[in-house]
Amino acid sequence: AEMLVADFSIVKMANSLSSKFETVAVVGEDVDLPVIMIGLPTAPNVYFLKPGRKNVPSTVYHPPSAVHPLIAENILFLHAMSGCDNTSALFNQGKNKFVKTLANTPDLGATLAAFKDSSAAPQTMQRAGEQFLVALYGGNINEDLNIERFRFYKRSAFKTRFNIATLPPTHAAAQQHSLRVFYQVQAWSGNQMDPTLWGWSITPRGLMPTTTLLSCAPDKRLQLVACKCTQRCMRNWGCKRAGLFCSKMCETCEGGCGNTEGYTSEEELGDIEDDEHFLRHLSEEFGLPGTGAYSSYTYLCKHFFKQLK
């Protein structure tokens, strides 16, 4: 938070000196500085100077005329939404693509203006952010991000190489990201807000981003996820890397390691009997071991995750 205030204070100071000097230069290497100078009203005689290094000469930028007006008007949003020091980036989505998305969909400019309104409601931020992300991934801005995520999956899942991280974020995850983007834009604008209302949570380690308010899958299904860790389930194992808890299905730890949030009760396991007819068909059709719904489902889960290793 102190760094956010510092960047804003530097730009504010430069503007205050613009009436006393013929030329004012803000010297720095942090990209946040020119972004703030472009995104906020900056005096015409204020410049940004990036010092050179070795064979690279120094560069001078004139913020008021550095980029197209549409981009300048929304550059704070674009920088925060695409990932900066205090907001996460989307996997394999560069900043240039964010700029091109807005340039190719100029009607979004009016929607994104809400991010500069300090009195805007969280729901407004969430909807505006989701519309932009849908456009970023090539979808119809009037559709739900989860729909675009599913379409993206269908187009990509059967490619020779597919990285699940390339999928668009879920609707719930995008909502929290949009809240943090709003908080960041307001901080750059000099408005101090309560971060816990805008996508952040207080933890023993300090403020941490609230990734989502929903589980990545129904709880009873998550309890069937299995890992094949041969030792303690540390962060370098698949279960930890995927952010999933171990369960009784795990071959070695059987859910008794430190990577667990509790066990599935027998009653919850009984809910899986709802899938009995479907799973029995799989057993007969593909020769899977076991005749009950639970044993068939157990085999499917273990076989599936074995293929992912």
* pLDDT tens sequence across 252-286: 776 667 676 543 334 334 443 444 444 444 444 44
% residues pLDDT > 90 (the chain): 53
287 pLDDT higher than 60: no
Residues 97 and 205 in one domain: yes
Same domain flag for 27 and 85: no
Closest C-alpha to 93, from 176, 174, 165: 165
Cα–Cα distance measured from residue 83 to residue 200, given in angstroms and rounded to the nearest whole number: 15
Q: What mean pLDDT is reported for the chain?
A: 80
Residues 170-226 have pLDDT tens digits of 999 999 999 999 999 999 998 989 999 999 999 888 899 999 998 777 777 766 666
Q: Which of 76-90, 151-165, 232-246 has the highest mean pLDDT?
A: 76-90
CB 292 within 8 A of CB 276: yes
User: Residue 306 and residue 309: Cα distance in Å, rounded?
Assistant: 5
Name which residue leads in pLDDT, 126 or 4.
126
Q: Is residue 151 part of a domain?
A: yes
Mean pLDDT of 2-31: 88
> Could you say which of 66, 90, 107 is where a domain stops?
66
Q: Single out the residue in 10, 33, 66 at which a domain terminates.
A: 66
- Segment 130-137 shows an average pLDDT of 96
The model's pLDDT over 51-104, given as tens digits with 9 standing for 90+, comes to 998 888 999 999 888 889 999 999 999 999 999 988 999 999 999 999 999 999
Domains identified in the chain, total number:
3
Query: Does any domain span residue 257?
Result: yes
Structure-token pair, residue 82:
């695409």
227 occurs within a structural domain: yes
What is the predicted pLDDT for the residue at 66?
Answer: 83
Question: Within this chain, do residues 36 and 88 fall inside the same structural domain, yes or no?
Answer: no
Q: Do both 190 and 245 map to the same domain? A: no
Distances (CA, A) of 186 to 180, 182, 195, 201, 233: 10, 6, 11, 18, 40
Q: In terms of domains, do 127 and 253 share one?
A: no
In a domain, 214, yes or no: no
Query: Is 303 a member of any domain?
Result: yes
Please tell me whether residues 241 and 201 are part of one structural domain: no
77 shares a domain with 178: yes
Say whether pLDDT at 232 is over 70. no
> What type of residue is 295?
S
Contact 80, 87 (CB under 8 A): yes
Residue predicted with more confidence, 236 or 288: 236
Q: Based on the domain organization, do 98 and 58 belong to the same domain?
A: no
Tell me which residue range forms the domain holding 114: 72-209
Q: What is the pLDDT of residue 159?
A: 80
Asked whether the predicted pLDDT for residue 300 surpasses 70, the reply is no
Same domain flag for 53 and 147 = no
Same domain for 119 and 184, yes or no, is yes
Q: Are residues 154 and 79 in the same domain?
A: yes
52 and 76 belong to one structural domain: no
Which pLDDT band, with edges at 50, 70 and 90, does 4 fall under?
low
Single out the residue in 13, 39, 66 at which a domain terminates: 66
